[in-house]
Amino acid sequence: MSRKKKTLVSVVGPTAVGKTTMAIALARYFRTEIVSADSRQFYKEMSIGTAKPDEEELGAAPHHFINSHSVDTIYSAGDFERDALALLDTLFQQHDVVVLVGGSGLFVRALTEGLDDLPQAPAHIRQELNDALQKDGLASLQQRLKAIDPEHYAQMDFQNPQRVVRALEVYESTGKSIAQYQQQKQADRSFDVITIGLNEERETLYQRINERVNRMLEQGLVEEVKSLLSYKNHPALRTVGYTEIFDYLDRNSTLYAAVEKIQQNSRRYAKRQITWFKKHGNTQWFAPSDSSAIIAFLHTSGVPIP
């Protein structure tokens, strides 16, 4: 089988499964660099609540798109596709293999497959939806989306207000669900993509998620969220780990209840991530400890031994 010269190894899977550890192991083995596709780790002000790699991990292999933007910037999947493709042009001049890692399915898909050509909604529709978000809250828009497009709702990150609003924009302006537009032919890329999925037994994964949330609290999650109060309505902050602590700071819940809610919402998010990555792309699944099996699979797939 003939193969293109360059390969992007994409490491995906649910939150807390161990993607960062595996990506570093692969980057060190192939003597290459890591491109992050985590839509919240872009922001330098968000570290604890995003489980960003620590200094030791960042030093173990070169990382890109970590701390690359300020939280006052809205950075879309389309922006990432453009910038990451340009970066890969440079990295592939130096390396035959580059590692992509992240649990943000839309951003991974943007780079590996290209984005769908979704219609732009009229400004008044976007404004109406954003006004409804501010007035009635995210839950109200979630229910609207679930009613009109239950299939898409079951797969998406419905805790992300930007994506909920976008899906509703498409429906309100065209009468079609966003899923009906997501049928386009995969974009041609100048490199091969091999997708490695990491997954764990549900009970073990949920325990890892709960322990990670507890570590976040010990590391100062509440203090980090306090420092971001002025960005409370920014899309990146209206996500798991932040909205729950904002509720606590607004005295709408106890800290104990907020932590339990983060754990619960993180578990739900993990289920949606698994559903997404099983549907999109030709993913080969492994346990997070199977580094030797993954390397063997990559070599069998034609990735050269470094």
> According to the CATH classification, is domain 123-181 in 3.40.50.9100?
no
DSSP 223-286: HHHHHTGGGTTSGGGSSTTTHHHHHHHTTSS-HHHHHHHHHHHHHHHHHHHHHHHHHSS-EEEE
Condensed to tens digits (0 to 9), the pLDDT of residues 244-284 reads: 999 999 999 999 999 999 999 999 999 989 988 988 768 99
CA distance 69 to 75: 8
Distance of CA 303 to the CA centre of its chain: 25
Query: In this predicted structure, what is the pLDDT of residue 2?
Result: 43
Q: Is 59 annotated as a binding-site member?
A: no
209 pLDDT above the threshold of 50: yes
pLDDT attached to residue 116: 72
pLDDT value, residue 285? 97
Where residue 1 falls among pLDDT bands split at 50, 70, 90?
very low
* Res 121: pLDDT: 73
Q: Which residue has the higher pLDDT, 173 or 159?
A: 173
Give tens-digit pLDDT for 107-160: 999 999 987 766 677 778 878 888 888 788 888 888 888 887 777 676 666 667
**44 among annotated binding-site residues:** no
Q: Is position 13 annotated in a ligand binding site? A: yes
The answer to whether the annotation marks 14 as part of a ligand binding site is: yes
What integer pLDDT is reported at residue 139 of this predicted model? 82
Q: Is 15 annotated as a binding residue?
A: yes
* β-bridge mates for residue 34, sequence order: 63, 99
pLDDT of residue 97: 97
Mean pLDDT of 203-225: 98
> Average pLDDT for residues 47-53, to the nearest whole number?
97
Top-confidence residue, 38 or 139: 38
Could you give the 3-state DSSP secondary structure of residue 18? coil
Is 18 annotated in a binding site? The answer is yes
197 is in an annotated binding site: no
Known binding residue 150? Answer is: no
Percentage helix, strand, coil for the chain under 3-state DSSP, each rounded to 5: 55, 10, 35
Is the per-residue pLDDT at 196 higher than 70?
A: yes
194 pLDDT tier (thresholds 50, 70, 90): very high
Residue 298 phi/psi, 5-degree rounding, is -65, -40
DSSP state of 192: E
Residue ranges per structural domain of the chain: 7-116+184-300, 123-181
pLDDT band at 181 (very low <50, low <70, confident <90, very high): low
Mean pLDDT of 38-64: 97
Domain 7-116+184-300 sits in CATH at 3.40.50.300
Q: What is the percent of the chain with per-residue pLDDT over 70, rounded to a whole number?
A: 92
Tokens representing residue 64 in the block: 């890109």
